[in-house]
Structure 1
Amino acid sequence: MAAGRPPPSSTALRAFTTVARLGSTARAAQAVNLTQSAVSKQILSLEHHLGSVLFERSPLGLKLTEAGAIYLPYAEAALEQMERGAMRLAERGAIARPIRLHMVAIVGERWLMARFPAFAEAHPGVDVQFTNYVSESETEEPDIEINHGIPPWPGKEAHYLFGRDVALVAAPSLLERMGGFRRAADIQKMTLLQHFQMPTFWAEFTEAHGLRGAVPEHTVRYGYYSVIISAALAGLGVALTPRCYVAEELASGELVNPLGLGFTSATGCWLTRPLGQPQRPGLDEFVTWLRAEAERFDAATRAPSAAA
């Protein structure tokens, strides 16, 4: 082989190593998905390239010549290295593409963002992109989602995170202005701050406390829990909100949970991902971390009676 000539093709190397292993161009053709004629041409091309005969015919089929036996381990090593290189590039491409997490805004504000630096430090090669809105022109679907709802989600596996422990909360100043809160029925004289996506909370509360058919004096609907919490802090009304989202305000006394009133909702915060999702570097680790962090968060923020 003259110096400076390009190396043989991977097809020729694969044909050569397969014939060496199987001892037949016919059997090799089936293994490499080529015609027998094409395999023979690849072998001849390689022999011409090397300037050496690689096979001799025997009663048992094709047998490696001395030159073929010398060249075989180098051809196998070259193919192995090419496969490893392709695998590394595929892994690099998978790592380079960020993991897209779509979530309701309150989850990021009240839970994930404070904890995520620990994951990022432990997994510096995993790029996670967070969104709470995907525009109509967005074509790339999220890899995982965190949403409030009730399973099942068709075509997805779902893992409960937190949020089913719902508490009635209010600012102390509001309760003082309203003359206190002595029984569950007192909620009817209050303004209810309601999340427009959680209309069932009122029905679940009244059912849990024997108030079926009761209605609040006034209802104000908002689209974000952060706004509902701010409105409750400002004394604009009482709110039914997952206890975990107001744990800090309850601990500080900025909000109170009158009479410990609350309920266990059918609705919770769930992590979902498509069934049969291809494996990606970092994704399983991220999901495992999210679930473990959520379990600790849920246990730490549940009401004592709910935790028992």
Structure 2
Amino acid sequence: MAAGRPPPSSTALRAFATVARLGSTARAAAEVNLTQSAVSKQILALEHHLGAILFDRSPLGLRLTEAGAIYLPYAEAALEQMGRGAMRLAERAAIAQPIRLHLVAVAGERWLMERFPAFAQAHPGIDVQFTNYVSESESEEPDIEIAHGSPPWPDREAHYLFGRDVALVAAPGLLKRMGGLRRAADIQKMTLLQHFQMPTFWAEFTETHGLRGAVPAHTVRYGYYSVITRAAVAGLGVALVPRCYVAEELVSGALVNPLDLGFASATGCWLTLRPQARRRAGLDELLAWLLAEAASFDRATRTG
């Protein structure tokens, strides 16, 4: 082989190594997914490339020549190294792909963001990209979605996180101005601060406390729990909010839960993921961590 000539193709090397093992171009053809004629042409091209005869040809089959026996282990090693290289590149590509996590803003604000640095430090090679909004033109769906709702979600794996424990909360000053709440029915004289995506909370509350058909004096709707919480702290009305999202305000006294009024909602915060997301490198570690952290958060806010 002349110096500087490019190395033989992997197809030629694979055909050569397979014929050497099987002793027949016909049997080798089926294994390497080529025609018998194509296998023969690959062998001849490799011999021309090397300037050496690799097989003795006889009616009984093909046997390696001395040159073929010398060259075979090098060809096999080259094929093995190319296979390993392709595998490493595939692994690298999988690791390089970020895990896309879509979540409602309040779950990030009140739960995930303050805890996530611990995961990032323990798993520096896992790239997680966060978003709380996916536009209609978004080309790729998130791998994991954390949202409020209730199962089932068609074609998605679902795991409950927290948020079913809903509490009635209000600022102490508001309750004082309104003469307090002596019974659940007194909520009808209050302004209700309602999340526009959780209209069922009022029905669930009234059903739980035997107030079916009751209506609040006034209702103001908001799009974010963070805004509802601030409005409640400011004394603009009472709110029905998952207890875990107002745990800090309840501990500080900025909000109170009069008469321990609340209910167990049919909806909660759930984690869902596409089945194909399971192929993402690092996803199993992230999923296990999220579920463990959510269970701890749920227990703490229920008893806290």
SS for the counterpart of 1:173 is helix
Does the 8 A contact of 1:165 with 1:262 survive in 2? yes
Task: For residue 23 of structure 1, report the CA deviation from its aligned partner.
Answer: 2.2
Task: For residue 80 of structure 1, report the CA deviation from its aligned partner.
Answer: 1.6
Task: For residue 35 of structure 1, report the CA deviation from its aligned partner.
Answer: 1.0
* Percentage of pairs with the same residue: 83
Cα offsets for 1:63-116 (capped at 9, x unmatched): 222322222222122112112212222222222222111111101111111011
Report matched runs for 1:64-143 at 5 Å: 64-143=64-143
Q: Name the amino acid aligned to 2:90.
A: A
Once residues 23 and 169 of structure 2 are traced to their aligned partners in structure 1, the CA distance between those partners, rounded to angstroms, is 80
Paired residue for 2:6?
A: 6
Q: Name the amino acid aligned to 1:4.
A: G
Cα offsets for 1:216-265 (capped at 9, x unmatched): 11111111111111111111111111111111111111111111111111
Report matched runs for 1:131-280 at 5 Å: 131-277=131-277, 279-280=279-280
RMSD over aligned Cα, in angstroms?
1.4
Q: Name the amino acid aligned to 1:131.
A: T
Once residues 80 and 251 of structure 2 are traced to their aligned partners in structure 1, the CA distance between those partners, rounded to angstroms, is 61
Task: For residue 275 of structure 1, report the CA deviation from its aligned partner.
Answer: 2.2
Once residues 104 and 20 of structure 1 are traced to their aligned partners in structure 2, the CA distance between those partners, rounded to angstroms, is 61
Structure 1: runs of 5+ lacking an equivalent: none
Paired residue for 1:41?
A: 41
TM-score w.r.t. the length of structure 2 is: 0.96
Q: Runs of at least 4 residues of structure 1 off by over 6 A?
A: none
Does the 8 A contact of 1:98 with 1:126 survive in 2? yes
Once residues 141 and 147 of structure 1 are traced to their aligned partners in structure 2, the CA distance between those partners, rounded to angstroms, is 14
Once residues 83 and 248 of structure 2 are traced to their aligned partners in structure 1, the CA distance between those partners, rounded to angstroms, is 53
SS for the counterpart of 1:121 is helix
Once residues 60 and 296 of structure 2 are traced to their aligned partners in structure 1, the CA distance between those partners, rounded to angstroms, is 67
Does the 8 A contact of 1:162 with 1:294 survive in 2? yes
CA 1:180–1:72 in structure 2 vs 1: closer, same or farther (change >3 Å)?
Answer: same
Does the 8 A contact of 2:169 with 2:258 survive in 1? yes
Once residues 18 and 290 of structure 1 are traced to their aligned partners in structure 2, the CA distance between those partners, rounded to angstroms, is 49
Does the 8 A contact of 1:157 with 1:274 survive in 2? yes
SS for the counterpart of 1:221 is strand
Once residues 251 and 80 of structure 2 are traced to their aligned partners in structure 1, the CA distance between those partners, rounded to angstroms, is 61
Once residues 69 and 220 of structure 1 are traced to their aligned partners in structure 2, the CA distance between those partners, rounded to angstroms, is 85
SS for the counterpart of 1:160 is strand
Does the 8 A contact of 2:277 with 2:283 survive in 1? no
Task: For residue 267 of structure 1, report the CA deviation from its aligned partner.
Answer: 0.3
What count of residue pairs does the alignment treat as equivalent?
Answer: 304
Once residues 96 and 127 of structure 1 are traced to their aligned partners in structure 2, the CA distance between those partners, rounded to angstroms, is 8
Once residues 58 and 148 of structure 2 are traced to their aligned partners in structure 1, the CA distance between those partners, rounded to angstroms, is 72
Task: For residue 59 of structure 1, report the CA deviation from its aligned partner.
Answer: 6.0
Once residues 300 and 278 of structure 2 are traced to their aligned partners in structure 1, the CA distance between those partners, rounded to angstroms, is 34
Once residues 154 and 266 of structure 1 are traced to their aligned partners in structure 2, the CA distance between those partners, rounded to angstroms, is 18
Task: For residue 56 of structure 1, report the CA deviation from its aligned partner.
Answer: 2.2
Once residues 155 and 33 of structure 1 are traced to their aligned partners in structure 2, the CA distance between those partners, rounded to angstroms, is 36
Q: Name the amino acid aligned to 2:160.
A: Y
| Residue 61 of structure 1 pairs with residue 61 of structure 2 | yes
SS for the counterpart of 1:205 is helix
Does the 8 A contact of 2:103 with 2:147 survive in 1? yes
Q: Name the amino acid aligned to 2:189.
A: K
Paired residue for 2:20?
A: 20
Structure 2: runs of 5+ lacking an equivalent: none
Once residues 73 and 8 of structure 1 are traced to their aligned partners in structure 2, the CA distance between those partners, rounded to angstroms, is 15
Does the 8 A contact of 1:165 with 1:303 survive in 2? no
Task: For residue 189 of structure 1, report the CA deviation from its aligned partner.
Answer: 0.9
Once residues 293 and 22 of structure 1 are traced to their aligned partners in structure 2, the CA distance between those partners, rounded to angstroms, is 56
